[in-house]
Amino acid sequence: VATQGSGTRVAQRPSGDVATAARQRTEHPPRYDLRPGSPDLSAFPRSAWLSAARRALNKAPYEAFGYSDPRGRPELRAALAAYLARARGVRCDPERIVICSGFAQTFRLLCDVLTRQGARSLALEQFVEPTTDAVSAASELNVRRLPVDEAGAVTGQLSDEDAVVLTAAHQFAIGVPLARHRRAEALVWAHDTGGLIIEDDYDGEFRYDRHPVGALQSLAPEHVVYAGTASKSLAPGLRLGWMVPPAHLLEDIVTAKTVADRNSSAIDQLTLTEVIASGGYDRHVRRARISYRRRRDQLIATLRQRAPEAEISGIAAGLHALVTLPAGLEEHTMVERAGARGLAVTGLRKFAAPADLPSPALLVGYATPPPHAFTGAVARLCAALDG
Amino acid sequence: VATQGSGTRVAQRPSGDVATAARQRTEHPPRYDLRPGSPDLSAFPRSAWLSAARRALNKAPYEAFGYSDPRGRPELRAALAAYLARARGVRCDPERIVICSGFAQTFRLLCDVLTRQGARSLALEQFVEPTTDAVSAASELNVRRLPVDEAGAVTGQLSDEDAVVLTAAHQFAIGVPLARHRRAEALVWAHDTGGLIIEDDYDGEFRYDRHPVGALQSLAPEHVVYAGTASKSLAPGLRLGWMVPPAHLLEDIVTAKTVADRNSSAIDQLTLTEVIASGGYDRHVRRARISYRRRRDQLIATLRQRAPEAEISGIAAGLHALVTLPAGLEEHTMVERAGARGLAVTGLRKFAAPADLPSPALLVGYATPPPHAFTGAVARLCAALDG
């Protein structure tokens, strides 16, 4: 029996904003772009992808073109299980992987399952990717924000929430990994309360200064959903992500996926399988890591020289740096000044909880521009910081 | 503010069934398959698709690999607007098309939008594809079933529902087009009550005996959401569908798509654009139509000869025929007998509303088997009918 008259719904504020932003990004791409959240799209390995598509189309059984296992193609789940164990230390079995359309869908399905199981509240970090905010705002879950400091999310403040989303390898805005004691506190919370940890490992492949931080999931696979994506390692346009949920959630997630869209695109899945199996995925990530580290170094060197009063942090990993603005410079002023120079930048406040007013800063996505536009983008950033 | 304590949720019966069925279909494909709902997957135009992917990857702007307009790639929306106007008489503008992951997602997004706008009930036809049933059961909408007769859904029985799903070109199980007076009744209902018609045009391309039945949407584009798919014309594994909603629903649908999965796979969208633009889509549909008409004729001829007591109907269009079982033969007996011969078939009851007990019949999907297995499948069907 359907629930009737359940009263006022969640306001849709952020979702509409996110949809509008995505549309504008397509219709009016800026000349220079240092917004965070995107790899260098001009580096997408088109010919490697096409060769992999040829191999995939040649060898696919014809059943692959039909309605398929809602968890995703078995070929891709097998390739990912091996890759995730090796590259991210994830403990998983191909039977327990669910392929989704990016992290957005992974998180949406988890919100659906949690709500259906009676969950009422969810904790997000103080700073999150706007789509994460939009998806949770569109759910019926009450959202609490966990403060974030130089050790990552303050997991000691978790209490009776049903789930928490943690960017454990690299806090989305601040750029720090979740410290060892914070990991321990999150795991104790999950163990004691039955709360679910959703590990958003959006850019775990990109760590520059030391060994990768392994997945939190490996410590407690029955309390953590590991969520990965090809959006940063290859391209968001692929809309391919994956999750490794605890066994007790698998059936409900499969049902949620089925009533969301049955399964994800078969040809993309089979092509990604070939890209991983041929070593092309590792090669691309390695090349991208070298390129982004160089860009990061160039960004730091240029800012230190031309805008020494701007503080840079969160640089050990990921695709963006946090640049704290010089005293007296507001984010919106900086966004306007950059815009006047053809450069799109994003202030930290866009990623903060509505009531939160962090110190004025930019999240500088140094991976975003194509190579020919990178130096020009950084020069315009410095010029805008200068006034 | 999120709604709390909204009580018991919709039972998940059908969703779980659909997920299990999809998984079994992948893990244990039957030797012979005459279940409905699939085109001949062995005829998927792999080399045309690969050539189109090459052209698409060569010419795509790099922005195409990023997060993109939630409505879908502008190239595909332009190609589809022209195609749908020409082939199905749909009145549309590329700005108003939304690309989805198949009809399942189209319908899911519409259920989300309707619920959020305060809708409480939905009418489905007496016989529907099980995923449609599962998606609506997982929503908070109350579902009513409209009887179906030889003129299609009895739209005169529509009353205070907020929306109705109509397979107007070809009723899913019975195989008849919605008669002219039934179309008129549906449109009057929509006009008078503000109810929304969701036109599920799942196989509108496949009509054998006369000109295609044009889309209902063309008569009242502000009351009808036209929903099409590549699942029957090309392959379900592509997960590509599209909808043309009334203008007043567009923004909410775009928001729902954004919080579902942001946008659909870019490479598949750009490849389909090339397939349509090169004429490959029309050629494939034409070839498939000829092949399916031959199969249909062979099925009819063979059944008339070897099982004259089985009645065949719904044969003027689509990818399946309704075969009424001889008196005394129950569906489950027939499914078992066929199974013992390595043939998978589906009884009509699987598509009926839970309380409904239609006369024992099979929905024979004559498009499903690859060519080499078709004659054998029909022979096994006849043998199973014989006992």
Q: What percent of chain B has pLDDT over 70?
A: 95
Closest by CA to B323, choosing from B355, B361, B380, B289, is: B361
pLDDT the model gives residue A20: 75
Closest by CA to B223, choosing from B268, B163, B274, B153, is: B163
More confident residue, B10 or B21: B21
Cα–Cα distance for residue pair A117/A385, rounded to 1 Å: 49
Reduced to 3 states, what is the DSSP secondary structure of residue B96?
helix
- What's the rounded mean pLDDT across residues B168-195? 96
Q: How far lies B274's CA from each of A239, B43, B160, B282, B350, in Å? A: 20, 19, 43, 12, 38
pLDDT in tens, B329-351: 999 999 999 999 999 999 999 99
pLDDT the model gives residue B267: 98
Output phi, psi for B100, to 5 deg. -130, 170
Burial A368-387 (b: 16+ CB within 10 A, else e): bbeeebbeebbebbbbbbee
Q: What confidence category does residue A6 fall into, taking pLDDT thresholds of 50, 70 and 90?
A: very low
Q: What percent of chain B has pLDDT over 90?
A: 87
Lowest mean pLDDT among A248-252, B116-120, B207-211, B241-245: B207-211
**Closest partner residue to B258 among A4, A22, A46, by Cβ?**
A22
pLDDT the model gives residue A354: 81
Arithmetic mean of pLDDT over chain A: 93
> One-letter amino acid identity for B338?
A
Cα–Cα distance for residue pair A313/A361, rounded to 1 Å: 11
Supply the DSSP string of B105-143, one letter for each residue.
HHHHHHHHHHHHTT--EEEEESB--HHHHHHHHHSS-EE
pLDDT the model gives residue B15: 55
**Closest partner residue to B1 among A8, A23, A101, by Cβ?**
A8
Closest by CA to A268, choosing from B260, B271, B231, B38, is: B271
Listed in sequence order, the DSSP H helices in chain A are: 13-27, 46-59, 74-88, 102-116, 130-138, 180-193, 247-261, 266-277, 280-306, 331-340, 371-386
pLDDT the model gives residue A16: 63
**Structural element, H or E, at residue B81:** helix B74-88
pLDDT the model gives residue A13: 43
- Helix and strand element counts for chain A (H, E): 11, 14
Cα–Cα distance for residue pair B381/B387, rounded to 1 Å: 10
Cα–Cα distance for residue pair A19/B342, rounded to 1 Å: 49
The strand order across the sheet containing B224-229 reads B98-100, B241-244, B224-229, B196-200, B163-166, B121-125, B142-146
pLDDT the model gives residue B212: 75
pLDDT in tens, B183-202: 999 999 999 999 999 999 99
Q: What confidence category does residue B213 fall into, taking pLDDT thresholds of 50, 70 and 90?
A: confident
Which residues make beta-bridge pairs with B163? Answer: B122, B196
pLDDT the model gives residue A334: 97
Cα–Cα distance for residue pair A312/A381, rounded to 1 Å: 13
Contacts of A232 (CB under 8 A, 6+ apart): A38, A39, A202, A203, A205, A206, A319
Contacts of A279 (CB under 8 A, 6+ apart): none
Query: How close A359 gets to chain B, by Cα (Å)?
Result: 28
> One-letter amino acid identity for A69?
D
Task: Please judge whether A3 and B18 are an interchain contact, meaning their C-beta atoms are less than 8 angstroms apart.
Answer: no
A15 touches chain B (CB under 8 A): yes
Output phi, psi for A95, to 5 deg. -65, -20
Tokens of B139: 């929503």
A74 touches chain B (CB under 8 A): yes
Tokens of B56: 């698409």
Residues 102-161 of B with CB under 8 A from A: 102, 104-105, 108, 116, 120, 131, 134-135, 138-142
Q: What confidence category does residue B14 fall into, taking pLDDT thresholds of 50, 70 and 90?
A: very low
Closest by CA to B34, choosing from B386, B346, B276, is: B346
Q: What confidence category does residue B11 fall into, taking pLDDT thresholds of 50, 70 and 90?
A: very low
Cα–Cα distance for residue pair B335/B328, rounded to 1 Å: 14
Lowest mean pLDDT among A196-210, B40-54, B120-134: A196-210
Burial B131-163 (b: 16+ CB within 10 A, else e): bbbbbbbbbbbbbbbbebeebbbebeebeebbb
Angle, helices B266-277 vs B280-306, to 10°: value is: 80
> One-letter amino acid identity for B248?
H
Arithmetic mean of pLDDT over chain B: 93
Q: What confidence category does residue A25 fall into, taking pLDDT thresholds of 50, 70 and 90?
A: low
pLDDT the model gives residue A1: 26
Reduced to 3 states, what is the DSSP secondary structure of residue A244?
strand
> One-letter amino acid identity for B353?
A
Task: Please judge whether B71 and A1 are an interchain contact, meaning their C-beta atoms are less than 8 angstroms apart.
Answer: no
Burial A273-292 (b: 16+ CB within 10 A, else e): bbbbbeebbbebbeebeebb
pLDDT higher than 70, residue A7: no
C-beta separation of B267 from A237 below 8 A: yes
Tokens of A200: 């958003």
Q: Which residues of A touch B22 (CB under 8 A)?
A: 67-70, 258, 262-263
Reduced to 3 states, what is the DSSP secondary structure of residue B322?
strand
Cα–Cα distance for residue pair B110/B160, rounded to 1 Å: 18
Give the strand pairing for A121-125 and A311-313.
Answer: unpaired
pLDDT the model gives residue A213: 81
Cα–Cα distance for residue pair A330/B252, rounded to 1 Å: 33
pLDDT the model gives residue A376: 98
Residues 206-265 of B with CB under 8 A from A: 235-240, 251, 254-255, 257-265
pLDDT the model gives residue B153: 98
Task: Report DSSP state, residue B350.
Answer: G
- Helix and strand element counts for chain B (H, E): 11, 14
pLDDT higher than 80, residue B8: no
Output phi, psi for B285, to 5 deg. -65, -40
Lowest mean pLDDT among A212-216, A260-264, A302-306, B62-66: A212-216
pLDDT in tens, A312-326: 999 999 999 999 999
pLDDT the model gives residue A15: 55
Best residue in A131, A254, A262, A273 to probe B by mutation, most B CBs within 10 Å?
Answer: A262
- What's the rounded mean pLDDT across residues A121-149? 96
Reduced to 3 states, what is the DSSP secondary structure of residue A164?
strand
Q: How many CB atoms lie within 10 A of CB A169?
A: 26
Contacts of A325 (CB under 8 A, 6+ apart): A310, A331, A334, A359, A360, A361, A362, A385
Cα–Cα distance for residue pair A54/B54, rounded to 1 Å: 10
pTM above 0.90, yes or no: yes
Task: Report DSSP state, residue A347.
Answer: B
Residues 26-65 of A with CB under 8 A from B: 26-27, 29, 37-38, 41-42, 44, 46-47, 49-50, 53-54, 57-58, 60, 62-65
C-beta separation of B346 from B25 below 8 A: no
Q: What confidence category does residue A75 fall into, taking pLDDT thresholds of 50, 70 and 90?
A: very high
- What's the rounded mean pLDDT across residues B251-259? 97
Three-state secondary structure string covering B6-35 = CCCCCCCHHHHHHHHHHHHHHHCCCCEECC
C-beta separation of B77 from B71 below 8 A: yes
**Closest partner residue to B41 among A4, A54, A62, by Cβ?**
A62
C-beta separation of B99 from B264 below 8 A: yes
pLDDT in tens, A79-130: 999 999 999 999 999 999 999 999 999 999 999 999 999 999 999 999 999 9
pLDDT in tens, B50-108: 999 999 999 999 999 999 999 999 999 999 999 999 999 999 999 999 999 999 999 99
pLDDT the model gives residue B224: 98
pLDDT the model gives residue B387: 82
C-beta separation of B106 from B163 below 8 A: no
Cα–Cα distance for residue pair A111/A130, rounded to 1 Å: 16
Q: Give the length of chain B.
A: 387
Three-state secondary structure string covering B57-68 = HHHCCHHHHCCC
Query: How close B10 gets to chain A, by Cα (Å)?
Result: 5
Q: Minimal Cα distance from B238: which residue of A?
A: A265
- What's the rounded mean pLDDT across residues B231-244? 97
Lowest mean pLDDT among A142-151, B139-148, B305-314, B352-361: B352-361
- What's the rounded mean pLDDT across residues B277-293? 97
Cα–Cα distance for residue pair B185/B191, rounded to 1 Å: 10
Q: What percent of chain A has pLDDT over 70?
A: 94
> One-letter amino acid identity for B331?
E
Tokens of A65: 């073109």
Closest by CA to B20, choosing from B131, B172, B143, B140, is: B131
Output phi, psi for A252, to 5 deg. -65, -35
Considering only CA atoms, give the Rg of chain B: 21
Q: What confidence category does residue A18 fall into, taking pLDDT thresholds of 50, 70 and 90?
A: confident
